[in-house]
Amino acid sequence: MFKITKNRLFVGALLCVLVGYVAYLELQHLRNQVTLQADATHASVPDVAVVQPKPAPSTLAMTLPGNINAWYEAPIYAQVSGYVKMWNKDYGAPVKKGDTLAEINAPGLDAQYAQAKADLQVTQAKYGLATVTADRWRSMGKSQAVSGQSVSVQNANEQSARAALEAAQHNVDHYDALERFKTIVAPFDGVVTARNISVGDYVGAGGGNLNANGTASELFTVADTHEMRLFVSVPEVFSYVLKPGLKARVTVPQYPNQVFTANFLTIAKGYDPNTRTAITEFTIDNADQKLWPGTFATVSLSAPAEGGVYTIPTGALVFQEKGMQVVTVDAQNKAHYKNITVGRMSDAYTEVDAGLTPTDHIINNPPADLLEGQTVRLSAPEKGYLTSASNSDEEDDE
């Protein structure tokens, strides 16, 4: 009897353990289900970091490469063919307008000039004879000694001789002008920046010096450097600052510690379709002759920026079919897409010209599957994430 009671107690205890274990498993299952449901509900609402637009800097500054050229620069070619008799000005020589740079020996031209003058003398003699003859025939025509037809013929001969005389005179004038071109002169006050001839070199009319390869080049290059022209290719997004009164700070490699001031002169009112830049011209006073043509320059420009422009992280931009957009978050944590007009862009930050207000909360790096009106959860960004980007952009602006 005692043995049966003991077995029953054992079986009862075992059943209690099994029931308790089953109840524990069911409770754990329910707890896991609640946790999963809570996690799913939490995951359905994306975590986002928001930023607010910042006013763009009040001053626009940029640094661009430029080229410095002479105020006037003229390559000088020969107008007559011959051999260089002598050159008078070398590299770097200052010259005045009309100074002799070189002389050309052109015996062929001299012979043609002499022949033209001889031809002029012949035509002068023929014209004199035609004039005397025509006068006689006109006198005889008055007394009816000869026919009117004969007088007309002599008048025509006189006119023909006069025309031949004028043609001969023009031919002499032509060669006389070419004779003067045997002397190469400076076209204006300046400095000789190139001399490509030596004594005895053959030069061709209009073709300059013929080197061993048969390539023609200019005899001299003369530059007026009292004032210099600075040419800068300015991107189209900066072109609105280019206007009279604008000044640029210029540095050149040979004078790294000296800053030259350049004054705005003009701008090409058209953009290069390949570079999207406009050629802009400045002037630099060069009374001390420190700057030379062909110098590379670093040009710093600064001007007041347009008002009403804000900056946002470039990662906040959304490219849609409707155009450029950002995603803003309202007071109920609802996401809304907003159209904007962007200006200048950089890797870190982008300027927004229209479409934002200073109080807008903008999602930085919005999820690609974010829908209009979807609820989002605001979260603080990792320490240093936005701060580092902001500091990097400020350093770039400086």
pLDDT of residue 71: 95
Would you place residue 397 in the very low, low, confident or very high pLDDT band (cuts 50, 70, 90)? very low
| DSSP of 84-134 | EEEE---TT-EE-TT-EEEEEE-HHHHHHHHHHHHHHHHHHHHHHHHHHHH
pLDDT of residue 163: 92
Amino acid occupying residue 371: L
How far is residue 1 from each of residues 5, 10, 12, 352, measured CA to CA in Å?
6, 15, 17, 95
Whether pLDDT at 38 is above 70: no
How far is residue 311 from each of residues 62, 241, 306, 316, 359, measured CA to CA in Å?
17, 19, 13, 11, 13
Angle between the N-to-C axes of helices 148-180 and 107-142, in degrees from 0 to 180, rounded to the nearest 10: 160
Whether pLDDT at 213 is above 80: no
Would you place residue 176 in the very low, low, confident or very high pLDDT band (cuts 50, 70, 90)? very high
**Higher per-residue confidence, 323 vs 287:** 287
Would you place residue 391 in the very low, low, confident or very high pLDDT band (cuts 50, 70, 90)? very low
Whether pLDDT at 389 is above 50: no
Whether pLDDT at 34 is above 60: yes
Q: What is the mean pLDDT of residues 77-91?
A: 92
Q: Which helix (H) or strand (E) holds 3?
A: helix 2-43
**What percentage of the chain has pLDDT greater than the value 90?**
36
The 10s digit of each residue's pLDDT in 51-79 is 888 887 777 788 999 999 999 999 999 88
Mean predicted lDDT score pLDDT of the chain: 82
Range of weakest confidence among 172-176, 285-289, 367-371:
367-371
